Amino acid sequence: MTIRTQTSRWLRRQPTLLRRVILAIALGVIAGAGAVIFYAALTFATHEFLAVLAGYQVPTPAGEGNAPGSLHYARPWAIPLSVVLGAIGAGMLVFTLAPEAEGHGTDAAIDAVLHDPRGIRLRAVVVKIIASALTIGSGGSGGREGPTAQISAGFGSLLARVLDLGTEDGRVAVSVGIGSGIGAIFGAPLGGAVLAAEIVYRDDFEYEALLPGLLASLIASAIFDAVYGFRPLFAVAGHFELTTPLTLVWFAIVGVVAGAIGLLYARSFYGTVRLARRLPIPRHFRPAIGGLLVGLLALWLPEVLGTGYGWVQKGLSDQMLHTPLLVIVVLPIARIVATSLSIGTGGSGGVFGPGMVIGAFTGLAVWRILAPLVPAIGHDASAFVVVGMMAMFGGISRAPIAVMLMVAEMTGTIALLGPAMIAVAIAWLIVKAVDDSIYRSQLPTRLDESPSA
């Protein structure tokens, strides 16, 4: 009898709680290590493509050094070249070795939870790491959470195969993998744990993944933070205090706008996916077309390059107060276009991170428009930036509680949860009214699953 068989039989004999605690510990370690590896790969790619090739330093958030970034492009011609080269490399890698690594990854992991917990290949995980580092590091608009989610979800799928886990244990393992991977890369363990339980369904909750998710996400975040530092990703300049109920009206407006922008994000992204698949060229080269367009757009708006987290930090630190209003209003749309072109054409990267950046720009735009009209709104835009992040992606992801918690952890702004609940609830209701989501693999509820799932 092999060690694998002995381990499998021993594990299956254990009580459910103990079995899932053991799985959670293993998944947490892998999620943390995977986040460390991917972050290092992305940092290296960003330096080689944008800093060395293009002579451009991207701004970074407070938790990653708070670098101001370059004021101008040293070699403007190299920006489109950089994005195209990264897109070509990612496209060749993905469509040659693991086509399932195309796109944002989290949707594939959700589909695995619902239909085939054993079905994520390790090859796809390795390809996802490299292809996402190429796509985002070269300047493509994408999030780093998709690759980290797929790393730990893929390991959960491997455990389900190797240890011959039952269907329910396999589902929990992959769900916990998604949440712990995202929680680790954002330094948001509580939000990651709730995300593990909330992200699979549009209007339901996978409660069995919550407690294992708490343990796994905490372990994963501790490992990542031990390497890169125990501090929130973003620093907020101002201190918010709710002094009058009337203030909630302005945050309600953020919710309305965020709900509409979220729908535009989802529709634009999947519209680009459908359009790209109809292009009469080999799919290996489709990401290059998106990369070229993103590079050209970045010559006007550098805010669309890479993860964009450094620009969110500038918004939180009131460093974009003198940016022309037209640019601020255009930024959410430009970021939607850039993400759709970068990932929707076949590139590799997450849509969670760009969603928060789009939401941050949305909140900033609402504040910039309201501030001259409503003096009582105050001189600090940071509260609107944070609530915009929560509302936009909390609504369109159909995971409002998890996203609120994650952004609160990432920004250290628990005090904003009150007004955020107003904005997030409104955005979520708008999205729910048309029954859409950025994650199209989600099922409405557990009752909608097939009997064999």
Cβ 19 vs Cβ 211: under 8 Å: no
The span from the first CA to the last CA of the chain, in angstroms, equals 31
Give the distance, in angstroms, between the CA of residue 26 and the centroid of all CA atoms in the same chain.
23
β partners of residue 103: 348
Q: Where are the domains of the chain?
A: 3-228, 247-448
3-228 shares its CATH topology with 247-448: yes
Instruction: For the domain covering 3-228, report its CATH number.
Output: 1.10.3080.10
Q: What are the distances in angstroms from CA 396 to CA 62, 106, 263, 400?
A: 27, 14, 7, 9
Give the separation between CA 405 and CA 215, rounded to whole angstroms: 16
Backbone angles phi, psi at 103, to 5 degrees: 80, -150
Contact between 72 and 55 under an 8 Å Cβ cutoff? The reply is no
- Express each pLDDT in 287-300 by its tens digit: 999 999 999 999 99
Task: Report the pLDDT averaged over residues 6-26.
Answer: 88
Phi/psi at 68 (5° precision): -70, -20
What are the pLDDT digits (tens) for 98-121? Answer: 888 887 778 888 988 998 898 888
**Contact by Cβ (8 Å): 140, 86:** yes
What confidence score (pLDDT) does residue 2 get?
79
pTM higher than the cut 0.85: yes
Which pLDDT score, from 0 to 100, does residue 258 have? 98
- Contacts by residues 274-282 (CB-CB < 8 Å, ≥ 24 positions apart): 276/344, 276/345, 276/346
Identify whether the C-beta of residue 338 lies closer than 8 Å to the C-beta of residue 302: no
Dig out the tokens for 429 from the structure: 């209701």
| Beta bridge mates, 409 | none
Q: What local confidence, expressed as pLDDT, does residue 414 receive?
A: 85
**With bands split at pLDDT 50, 70 and 90, how would you rate the model's confidence at 444?**
very high
Across the chain, mean pLDDT equals 92
- In this structure, which CATH number among 1.20.1260.10, 1.10.1370.20, 3.40.50.2300, 1.10.3080.10 belongs to the domain 247-448? 1.10.3080.10
pLDDT digits (tens, 9 = 90+) for 220-273: 999 999 999 989 999 997 777 777 788 899 999 999 999 999 999 999 999 999
Q: Which of 140, 131, 12 is nearest to 82 (CA)?
A: 140
Tokens 């909140």 locate to: 363
**What totals of helices (H) and strands (E) does the chain contain, helices first?**
17, 0
Query: Can you name the residues that pair with 350 across neighbouring β-strands?
Result: 143
- For the residues of 301-336, what is the DSSP string, one character each? -GGGSSS-HHHHHHHHTTTTTTS-HHHHHHHHHHHH
